[in-house]
Amino acid sequence: MSDYTRAEVCAVAIAEAFRGDGEILVSPMGTLPLIGARLAKLTFSPDILLSDGVAALLATVPPVGAKGPPPVVEGWIPYRTVFDVVWSGRRHVMMGATQIDRFGNQNIACIGPFQKPKAQLLGVRGAPGNTINHATSYWIPNHSTKSFVAQVDVVSGVGYDRARALGPVASRFHGIRRVVSNLGVFDFATPEHAMRLASVHPGVSVDEVVQNTGFALMIPDPVPQTCVPSREELRLLREVIDPSGLGNKEVKA
């Protein structure tokens, strides 16, 4: 088994975001989130529920972007039922973030003023409902001062400061578990729920993270290194989950 890649380190870090979730619906959005969630299901979180993207819940883990044996379907979750799951806090979504700030406010709507943006993005979409009603994590493949910003241009996903201002009823299910980037892993385990550097990936320095972040991070002493893939995790990633190596096309290092 050859040495791990940065993308494989990120996949393991993403999988860790789903540790301990139990029997809830997991919705990974994007290539590496999908790879990481499937790794979690095949290892330490076998009870998480993964859909086929339409209405079936899968008992098996099909390969990403490649043909495999027909998946085993264990349940049915039509679109209308998804909202019952969302509103009850029984879901964990991992989304992307074009911008994110120190309290976890996320922007996927536009860059620049909302009334006259410089660039149109996805739109707010379902981010407000997701972040208020259940656990949320983020995957950001290009960590820079353009993505980790002092203030997001538009609030799509709700951060800890805004959730706190809404009060305990509106924020009862709110929680940002992890932010994973190509440089490190971040959480909000601080008194103010401000972003903390939880670990740096192998080959990345704390200074590199700080220089590429547009706000002051909470930094522990010492800063741990992100866990590297085990031999079994590498086997699952390369032979079962991502035999086409799509994850390595998303992160190069």
**What CATH number does the domain containing 138 carry?**
3.40.1080.10
Angle at 188 between CA 187 and CA 190, to 5 degrees: 130
- Exposure class string for 16-33: b at 16+ Cβ within 10 A, else e: bbbeebeebbbbbeebbb
Range of the domain at 133: 6-246
Q: Is 252 part of any domain?
A: no
Q: Is 213 part of any domain?
A: yes
- Confidence tier at 253 by pLDDT (50, 70, 90): low
Which helix H or strand E contains 93, and what residues bound it?
A: strand 91-96
Q: Is 11 part of any domain?
A: yes
The number of domains in the chain is 1
pLDDT digits 0-9 by tens, 122-149:
999 999 999 999 999 999 999 999 999 9
Dihedral sign for Cα 53, 57, 63, 68, please.
Answer: negative
d(CA 8, CA 248): 8
Residue 2 confidence (pLDDT): 54
Q: Is 37 part of any domain?
A: yes
pLDDT digits 0-9 by tens, 198-252:
999 999 999 999 999 999 999 999 999 999 999 999 999 999 999 999 999 999 7
pTM metric for this prediction: 0.96
Q: Is 152 part of any domain?
A: yes
DSSP state, residue 248: H
Q: Is 102 part of any domain?
A: yes
Give the mean pLDDT of 2-23: 95
User: In the Cβ-directed half-sphere of 156, how many Cα atoms lie within 13 Å?
Assistant: 23
Q: Is 1 part of any domain?
A: no
Q: Is 26 part of any domain?
A: yes
Dihedral sign for Cα 92, 94, 100, 101, please.
Answer: positive
